[in-house]
Amino acid sequence: MKQIQILVNGVIVVMAMLGFATTVNAQSVEATEAVGYGPAVQRIEPAFGQRGQWYLYTPSLYATHTHYDPAMSSPVVSDNGLSLSAELGRFVRNRFSLGFEVGGQYGWQTQNSTITGVDSNRLTNWTANLHLVAGWQRPLASWLSFWPKIRLGGSYGRMDEIGYDSATGTGSKQTFGSHWIDAGVRLPVVFHVTRHLFVEAAWLLNASFGHNQQFSTIQAVSQTTLGFGGWL
């Protein structure tokens, strides 16, 4: 009878030990998940870039002014410009985005009467553009990611040239329209300042083929831009 009682007590002790071990293991798993190991490792990456997210930002917003010294015999006295663009898109797969960029530029320029031969000569121009943009977002840290993109689209613009000659008392106005096809690469580094807001510093390389009433041309533009935006 004593042997049976000892055996039963042994079984109870073993079961108690197994139960304790299971409880400790479960607590360990919970603690492990709580401190960020296992599945929680993904927390080191920005939440930005997941499938289904929408984003909106301004990759280009700037104003320029250039004044030329008349002693340089430049036909241009001053050159001014405003530029604004906005991109709206969605991550169709994790890290892969598709969007549209719309933008516009407006500029005006005055010219030197001693060079052009008229008292005043003013040029104004505006351009509207639309691009399809595809990007691939790569997290680098909880606050930093790399988001290279390719752009393809076109633009339409118009330039008005207005002059006045006081010697003859006559004025003149010429209008030129232009069409452009653009393709380019944008290489932005994204700083995640908050969970849903970011600032972007990018290098843009763009090639364009254009045509107006006077000539056709191909040009390449390289520039750096600073933008900001957010996502939902």
Q: Which residue is associated with the tokens 């606050």? A: 143
Structural contact between residues 213 and 177, judged by C-beta atoms closer than 8 angstroms: yes
Structural contact between residues 184 and 191, judged by C-beta atoms closer than 8 angstroms: no
Q: What is the pLDDT of residue 173?
A: 76
Tens-level pLDDT at each residue, the chain (232 residues): 444 444 444 444 444 443 433 343 333 333 333 334 445 444 444 589 999 999 999 987 767 767 666 555 555 667 788 888 999 999 999 999 999 999 998 888 776 655 545 556 677 888 899 999 999 999 999 899 999 999 999 999 888 877 766 566 666 777 878 888 999 999 999 999 998 999 999 999 989 888 776 667 788 888 888 889 999 9
Q: What is the pLDDT of residue 75?
A: 59
Q: What is the 3-class SS of the chain, one letter each residue? A: CHHHHHHHHHHHHHHHHHHHHHHHHHHHHHHHHHHCCHHHHHHHCCCCCCCCCEEEEEEEEEEEEEECCHHHCCCEEEEEEEEEEEEEEEEEECCEEEEEEEEEEEEEEEECHHHHCCCEEEEEEEEEEEEEEEEECEEEECCEEECCEEEEEEEEEEEEEEEEECCCCEEEEEEEEEEEEEEEEEEEEEEECCCCEEEEEEEEEEEEEEEECCCEEEEEEEEEEEEEEEEC
Q: What is the pLDDT of residue 70?
A: 57
Give the gyration radius of the chain's Cα atoms. Answer: 32
Question: pTM of the prediction?
Answer: 0.66
